[in-house]
Each structure stands twice: as C-alpha cells, then as structure tokens.
Amino acid sequence: MKKIIGFFTLTLLLTRLNGETSTENYVITTTPVTEISDAQLIPTMGNTQKRTQVIYYDGLGRPLQEIAHRQGPSFEDMIQIYEYDMHGREVKKHLPYGGASPSLNFRTNAFTEQKDFYQKKARVSHTQYPFSEAQFEESPFDRVLEQGSAGVDWQVGGETIEISYEVNGPSEVRLWVMNSGQWVSNSFYASGELYRHITRDEHGMKTVVYNDKESRTVLRKQQFGSNPERFTETYYVYDDLGLLRCVIPPQAYADMISYNVNIEVPDRVYLYNYDERKRVVEKKIPHKGWEYIVYDDLDRPVATQDAVQRASWQWTFTKYDVLGRIIMTGLKVRSGESRATLQQNIYSWIAVGVKRYEERTNSTAYFGYTSLAWPTNMDEVLTVNYYDDYDFNNDGSPDVNFASPPTGFTVSSPTARTRSLPTGNLVQVLDGTGNTFLQSVNWYDEKGRVIQSRTQNHLGGVDRTFNEYNFIGELLRTRTEHGFGGQGHYFEKRFTYDHAGRLLKTYQSIDGKDEIILSSQSYNALGQLTEKDLHGVPYSGTTIPPGWNQTYLQSVDYAYNIRGWLTHINNADLKDDAYNDASASTGGFISGYDFYGLSYKVVEIYDNETPSHLELWVQDESEMLVQGNLTTAHYDNEEAARMFLREYSAEDAVYTTLNSIANVVFTNSYQQARTVNSNTEISALEEWLYPEVADDLQAQEVFDETAIGAVQQSVFNYVAGKAGHIMEADSVAFADQKLYLTYLEKNGYQLFMKVKGENQEEAEIFIMDHTPSNQEEYNHLLALTDNGEGGYNPLLVNFGTVTLTENMGTVEAMLACQDYVTAELVNNNITNVATKDALDRFAAAYAADDYGNVYFNNDENDLWGMELKYNSKSSQLGNNEPLQSTQLYNGNIAEMHWKSGSDNIRRAYGYQYDGLNRLTAATFKAFNYSNELWDKEVNRYSVNGISYDLNGNIGTLNRRGLTGTISTPAFGVMDDIIYAYSGDQLINVTDEEIGSHPLDFADGNLHYTTGLDDYTYDNNGNLTKDRNKGITGITYNHLNLP
C-alpha cells in the first residue's frame, strides 16, 4: 500500500503539484524561509523562499532517498541515497551528491548520478568509491567485522577498521575490590567473565575494551608499540551498586607493585564517593584535593567546596527560585563544619521551615530577592540572575529601558512576553570591595531571539548590541556600541546568506564610515567552503555599474579530500591553478571531459586512485614572466620547454624514468615565432599549436591518441592561462545564483551576462561602452539586436542548446559554445567586431567554467599557501621518503607544505607518530626547484626524539633552529630537553644543550644547582611558581583564575 504523509496540512493536499513520484512512499516537508500569512501560498513561493525536502521509503519503512530540493549552492538537489542487503542491513553508506536536474521525483538512476558526480564535478574530490562499506558477521547479532570509508584506499580489504568480538582469558584483567576502605587487586577475572572487543585501526593498532555483563567498561587497552605489542591500560572500578568509584590512568597502573590504589597512587587517580541517594558528594581528580558537594532534598547542588576553600572553611553556594532556576551564587564560611554535617544541617533546616527557594521582593538588601533559603546570611554575593521581566527591584516599573534601534533595524520594540526568559544579571567585579557589580540586560522579539543587549563595562560606560534576524532566525545585522565618559564608537555588521542558509558575505562599517565587505564565501556542490574573499575593495566611482565585478585584497581557497579532510589553503606553491588556487592536486585523471591543474611551470594531472602525471617543464623560471604575449624569446633555448607523460605505478612510486604513456619523451623547442596575446583567437591558436604538437609526437612514432590529446590540451591551457587570450586575471566573475549579473572585460568593453534560467543556461548578453572619458558611467549600448523602434534589445542566448558530450575536450567545448554564439550573431545581424570578439571570449569562458573545470581565478596576490597530505607523501629521484613520512589513513597529517609570498620558497614538514597518534618527529626541508629535490634547508627546524609517558606527558624533545644570530645565521640543535614529573605534574625542565641561543628554552632556574623545583602548585593543581620565568607567586580566586 502506497502512503503519502504531509507536513504542513496543506502539503498533503498539494503533493502532486510538486512532481513527486506517486508510485513510491514518501514524506515531504516544506519550510517557509520568508514570512507568509496564508499556508495556501506555499506552493507559489519561489525557490529562495522555502526549503523543501522529500524522503522516499520502501515497503518496510526504511529510507531509500532523501532529496533536499534545490538546496545546493547552485540550486541543484542535494541527494542522499541508501542501500541495504538482503537482510535489511545498510551495508553501504553513500556520500550525498548534487543532482544535475532539480526534481522532487524519485531518482531511478541515483547510483549512476552519484558516480558521475564524484568523477566529474568541479571542486569536489573525485573517487570511484563514494561510499563506506561495512562487512557483518554471519550471525543474528549482525555485528560489524570491518568498516570502510569513502575512497579507494578505505574500501573493504584495504585501510579499514576491523572489529572482533571475544571473551577474556585467564590472568588477563585484574579484579578490584574494596578492602578496609582501600581499593586493591589480588586476583583476576575468571576466563569468559568479560566481553572483549578488539578494534584495529587503519594501521593495525589495537584498542581492546573489556565490558562486564552489565555492559560496564572495566578495562580499556590501547596499543602504542609493536614487536612486542605494548599497551596502555586504563581501569574503571565499580562498587557493588554499579557506581563508578575509581579510574586508574595508564601510568599510575604501570607504576603500582602491590596494586593498592590508596597507598601507592592516591594522588594520581580519579576517585568518587556517593551518598545514600547515589549522588556524587566527594570527588578527586589527579593532583587536586577532594571537592565536596552538598544537595538539598530536591537533589540540587546548593554548596560546593574545593581543596583551597577547605582550608578557610569557605563554601560556594547556589540559590534557586520556585521554578528551579539559578538566581544567585556566592560565598559562605561555615567554620569547623564538615560536608556530612552541613548536609545534615540543611536537611534539618528544610524540615523546620527554611525555604528551598527565593522569591522576588522590593527590598534592595538582597538585590530584589528574599533571603529565606540557606544560607539566609550570605557573606558575599557573586552573581544574581533575573527572569520574566525587567523590574529587577520589584518596585512596579522597569529598571532599564529599551533603546530605540538605529536606522535600518526593523524591530522597533521588544516583546512583552518574556515569561521564562532570562532578562538580566549582575556579576561582581572582583576588586576586593565586594560591592561592585556589572549589570547585563537582554531584550527579545516575539520569537524569543535577543534583539538588544545592554552591558555595563569595567570603565563605567555602557555597551549595547542590536540584532536583526530574518524569518527563520538567521542573523542579518548586528550593531555594537561601546561607550565611556561621553565617548563612543560603534561597529555594524550585516550578513547575507544563500537560499540554504550558507553564509555568503559579511559587511562591516565603523562609526558610520563606508561599508566594506569583510569576507565573501563560496561553496562547492556539497556545501563545503571552497573560497573566502577578504576585504572588498570599495568602488572608486560615484555610480556602481550594473554587475560591477567586486575585487578583494585577498582570496583564500580551500580544498578537501574524499574524507572531508582539509587538504589545501590556497596553493602551496602560490601558483595560479586553473581549477582552483588550492585544488590542482585534488582533481581527476585527465580525459576529454576533465582537465585540472594549470601552472606556469608544472601541469599535474592525476587521480588519487589511478596516479599518472602530465608535466610541462620550463627550465628557467624567469622566462615565465609573461607580460601580455609569448614570443620566441621563450623558446630560443633548445631545452626551454619539455613536456612528457610520466607513468606511475605502486611498484615504481619514484619516477626513475621519464616515460610517456606511449613510452617516449616529447620535446619541442618551438623555433618559429608565435605571438599569443589578448587579441589572439582560439581558432588561430589551435591552427598552429595542435598540428605542430601532433606532428612532433608522430615523428617520434607516438600515435597514442590519449597521449597526443593530453599534450595538446596541456599546451593549450598553458598558453591560454598565461597569455590571457581568453581574459586577463581578475577580469571575470562567473554568473551564479547569487550575483545574477556579471561581466567580462576585454579591450575596454564590458560584456554583461544576466542570468535568466534557474539552471543558468539562459542568459541575456549585451555590450556596454567603457571609454577613457567615461570610466565610471556605463550608459551606452553597442551593437545589440535592433528592436525596430530605434532602440536595441539584449541578445538572448541559451547554452543549454549546445551539445556538449563527455568525450569532448575543454577546447572542443569552448569551440562549440563559440560556434553557437557566432551563429546567433549572424542570425541577429550583429557584425560589430568588438561585440563578436567579446562574445567569443565569453563563450569560451562559459564552456571552460561549466564543462572543463578551468577557473581563470588567478589570485596572484596570495600571501601564503598550504597543503596537507594524509594518505600520500612526497617522493624524489632516488629517495622515496625525503621527508621521512609515511602515508596515513586515520586522519593524521603525514606532511604539511607551505609557501610564503615573502620569499617564494616551498617548505615542508614530514610527521611521524606513535601508535597512540602522538607526534614523535617532524622533519623539515625546503624544495629545490632547479633539481626537483628536497635538498634545501635540510633539518633546519626539525624536531625529533619526542617521547611520552603512558599518560601522554611529554618526556623528551630535541629541537633544531637558529643557533647563530640574525646577522650571522647558523642552524643546529637549539634545545635538548628532558621533562621531569611528580605523577602528572611537571616539576622540572632540563635543557641538555649547552650554550645560549636567541630563541631557545630559557632556563631561569638551574634546579640541579639551586635545589628548588622549577614549578610548584596549590591544592587545586594550579601553578603557583614558575622559577624558570622568575615568577615567584601566583594567587587564584574562587574560579581558579589568576
């Protein structure tokens, strides 16, 4: 039986109007984003005014597909698919994907769509395995034996997590009991008494968990070494009622001999004591004294005391109102009174009529509250909270008034329905007087959202914050005013979001000055942040033209791998990638449909799953300073440019040979002069470039079409990107659902595109005059379609009519779009040369952006770039581990590469870890571009010899760095440090490296000479002395803050 369930009653009646598949079970949910007065209007709302989701179910009520309709960054559907085996188990968990054609219909080809998405979609990590797979045991328990993740490396049988289910053996797990008030262990659990679960991570390291028959964990072991296997052991000890009484950390357990906790390691374990109601009344953590808790008869904490307070018999109290809300905290001294005595006294006082709560009153003695609950006499009040209204002193009128919002804020008055909401509070300034309080007040709108807050500051002034929200609670604007002594400043920010609630732009103005764009964010088809533009440059003219292309001082790009781990911030070589500044090394294997990775020196095309490289080498980097054209000056050296395909295999991860796919190295010196500049047509470029490359390859008996096409395409994109025959850097903004209007600039003309179709296939294109005498006004239309009345109509083009197939290359796609535009110009009698030239370039850019994934977004002002490697590592000729790193599959970073624009040197760290994922070494080197080796600055800032105890406390560290001076630099061992502990508290640090270096560890207390420890602590574990830094005393308040 097919069922339809609707949220919003109207939705049930209108479901067939939305295009759902009637032969499937589904639930559709529509959430209005903008306010409406009649639910009947929901079906007429636009895509940006509502969010629609449909979930399809099978006959057993299991979800099959979830479709977030048009919720992708480009209004594509976001689709989650589910897959079950014959036993009803979800054996594969699929990654979501963006559907090409928005529809609420059930997708019968969802798996094919998902596969295409993760192999072709731009700015998304590519894989043939967009799912994680689980392998179950063959039993009714259906327990997971092996768990994979998305990506080829993490498939079942590869780098996965394995789980086994067993029972304990003899003499394997200690049994702890209470003996005369002490926790001791004199025996072991019998065989088969405990469940043993063994989890092996992606690197084969084990985590072993022992649970008793009530599913309580009694022992957790983690492997940190192999050959032989070595484990940390953490014990959890329970009493006869099943209450956790003691936790024994690994190092404390390893140091015990007689296995008596209270005698051997009393200050290095976690201890808990309970009362007859099973409430924690006493607790102790390592290296901190006992902390006590007292409750009322409603099981609410009313008093706490730490080890430092115990010395002065001081308690921190908490008071409540009749609804159980905290209304007051403070301090009270009860001399000579133990926790048990105070607990019994509170019970007795309540029994004879002392109240459990306070009420509001007009007396100012206790800040507008009664003092009828314990303690009735308070020594010091620390905080006071108010609820429900603004009459804090209960005299019949509000104590603080709502301020009129600034211009632009739509909420003019707060709600009067504040019942249950926190409206204000007082916090004592700990200046020693006990009488200075700062007041904070919040006002709300009808939906309970804070629209204004007022806070007294420590200077005696007042700070106010105004907030404005949209219908669904997204913050649209906020203004913060800071006042003191008649002076004041204010900061105003506003925010814009896309149709799915993703933050797009953040604006800011200070003291009413011109507003600037702090940041503008862009996302890929999965909603991952891929670009953040920083500090928009204000427009210099008086009138901002339509579709003005906003420029920024800095752009930061982000890229991720298939696991969602960050791999790039910008490009680690600060190059201009065609795909994305950060994403050249996250693309896919080259084909006629996908092209990735353009740079001025090296073009890399490879897939993480099927690595292969196409590289374009230029011998002299200085030759690549292209200023508008390419001439023979670049190619008068026989070795000026070399292109070759390098074959990659797991057995030959180091490129020891330079073999192409067709087993030949392609070299061409380009002796003939070629001028390629902003006026060069694509057809002209193709006419000389392609035959020459093809002829040269074939002359060397290279007939492999894939190899020829790859080289041709790489050269084309290389020249296109540097010569700018399509467009100059920063002169294009591709239209999207957020801008609606954008343009290309070429040769002094502006080409505007106005998006018409929701799928961004229809566009109005027209030319506007931009002359030296009219730099800031765009008011003349050129060469548009004659409307027959002396005016012009914009030319309507629809790229959706252009046939672009998967086997077409980027250049072919560009030419197809250009041919279409050319035909449209002829059909509309448009012959203006400038118009045709600009439209040709736009068509090429459109094809490259939408089909070839070539993004001419050359952020040449990147200040810094970074690359993070996880399951890959660097290699070089003759050395497969130049950074002493290994591929890691558990999320640990194997290598970090970066480059700063200040010196243009690529540097890197290669990391090593122990079995507990703790860093043990970091190898530092810089890359030498002249010989492609990591042989610069070798070990200049390396760190090694890092060791830990079983609790993770660092034991030793050897650090290299600057050992000379800034004027006469030298590098070597800077620090050779040994750390000494008392339990887990650091006591002394010793630097074995003799000599003083500019930036090394400064040992201000030679403890082995003075006999004084470097560090001392109070009974709460707070540091009180740091003799290395000359700090002889640190005191703390009741919050343990210095």
Residue 580 lies in a domain: no
CA-CA distance, 381 to 439, in Å (whole number)? 14
N- to C-terminal Cα distance for the chain? 68
Among 131-140, 282-291, 669-678, 918-927, name the one with the lowest average pLDDT. 669-678
CA-CA distance, 103 to 4, in Å (whole number)? 17
Where residue 795 falls among pLDDT bands split at 50, 70, 90?
low
Check residues 741 and 978 and name the one with the higher pLDDT.
978
Q: Same domain, yes or no, for 684 and 771?
A: no
In the block, tokens 């070795």 appear at 639
Residue 672 lies in a domain: yes
Packing angle, helices 810-827 and 833-847, rounded to 10: 140
Residue 828 lies in a domain: yes
- 332-369 pLDDT tens trace: 999 999 999 999 999 999 999 999 999 999 988 899 99
CA-CA distance, 862 to 446, in Å (whole number)? 46
**CB-based contact 768:776 (threshold 8 Å):** no
CA-CA distance, 536 to 551, in Å (whole number)? 6
Q: Same domain, yes or no, for 51 and 123?
A: yes
The pLDDT value given to residue 123: 80
Q: Same domain, yes or no, for 128 and 198?
A: no
Q: Same domain, yes or no, for 12 and 107?
A: yes
Closest by Cα among 435, 312, 307, 308 to 367? 435
Radius of gyration of the chain (CA): 35
CA-CA distance, 480 to 461, in Å (whole number)? 13
β-strands 4-6, 25-32 pairing: parallel
Average pLDDT, stretch 183-198?
Answer: 97
Highest mean pLDDT, choosing among 478-487, 633-642, 731-740, 757-766: 478-487
Q: Same domain, yes or no, for 172 and 252?
A: yes
The pLDDT value given to residue 814: 56
Q: Same domain, yes or no, for 709 and 762?
A: no
Q: Rounded to 5 degrees, what are φ and ψ at 680?
A: -75, 130
Q: Same domain, yes or no, for 707 and 745?
A: no
Average pLDDT, stretch 650-661?
Answer: 33
Number of domains in the chain: 4
Residue 12 lies in a domain: yes
- 723-778 pLDDT tens trace: 322 222 222 222 222 222 333 333 333 444 444 444 444 444 444 444 444 333 33
> How many Cα atoms occupy the beta-carbon half-sphere of 48 within 13 Å?
11
Q: Same domain, yes or no, for 708 and 748?
A: no
Q: Residue 931: which residues within 8 A CB-CB, separation 6 or more?
A: none
Residue 190 lies in a domain: yes
Last residue of a domain, one of 663, 691, 725: 725
Average pLDDT, stretch 464-493?
Answer: 92
Q: Same domain, yes or no, for 711 and 753?
A: no
Average pLDDT, stretch 234-241?
Answer: 97
The pLDDT value given to residue 805: 58
**CB-based contact 247:253 (threshold 8 Å):** no
**CB-based contact 392:368 (threshold 8 Å):** yes
| Encoded tokens for 687 | 């006419």
In the block, tokens 């000055």 appear at 513
Q: Same domain, yes or no, for 12 and 121?
A: yes
The pLDDT value given to residue 828: 67
Residue 956 lies in a domain: no
- 107-122 pLDDT tens trace: 999 999 999 899 878 7
**CB-based contact 1016:998 (threshold 8 Å):** no
Please say if the pLDDT value at position 385 is more than 70.
yes
Q: Vertex 690, ends 689 and 692: CA angle to 5°?
A: 70
| Percent of the chain clearing pLDDT 70 (strictly above) | 70
Where residue 635 falls among pLDDT bands split at 50, 70, 90?
very low
CA-CA distance, 243 to 972, in Å (whole number)? 54
Q: Same domain, yes or no, for 775 and 685?
A: no
Average pLDDT, stretch 925-941?
Answer: 89
Round the average pLDDT of the chain to a whole number and report it.
77
Structural domain of 219 = 160-273
In the block, tokens 């806070």 appear at 455
Q: Specify the length of the chain in residues.
A: 1042
Q: Same domain, yes or no, for 715 and 745?
A: no
In the block, tokens 């200049």 appear at 940
What is the number of other CB atoms lying within 10 angstroms of the CB of residue 487?
Answer: 9
Residue 869 lies in a domain: no
Where residue 876 falls among pLDDT bands split at 50, 70, 90?
confident
Among 58-67, 235-244, 443-452, 526-535, name the one with the lowest average pLDDT. 526-535
The pLDDT value given to residue 1005: 85
Closest by Cα among 148, 857, 843 to 522? 857
Where residue 877 falls among pLDDT bands split at 50, 70, 90?
low
The pLDDT value given to residue 75: 86
Residue 348 lies in a domain: no
In the block, tokens 């997971």 appear at 144
Last residue of a domain, one of 725, 755, 790: 725
| Encoded tokens for 678 | 């902003």
Where residue 653 falls among pLDDT bands split at 50, 70, 90?
very low
Last residue of a domain, one of 833, 852, 871: 852
- 139-173 pLDDT tens trace: 999 999 999 999 999 999 999 999 999 999 999 99
Q: Residue 856: which residues within 8 A CB-CB, separation 6 or more?
A: 578, 721, 726, 727, 729, 732, 845, 848
pTM of the shown model: 0.74
In the block, tokens 């025959």 appear at 725
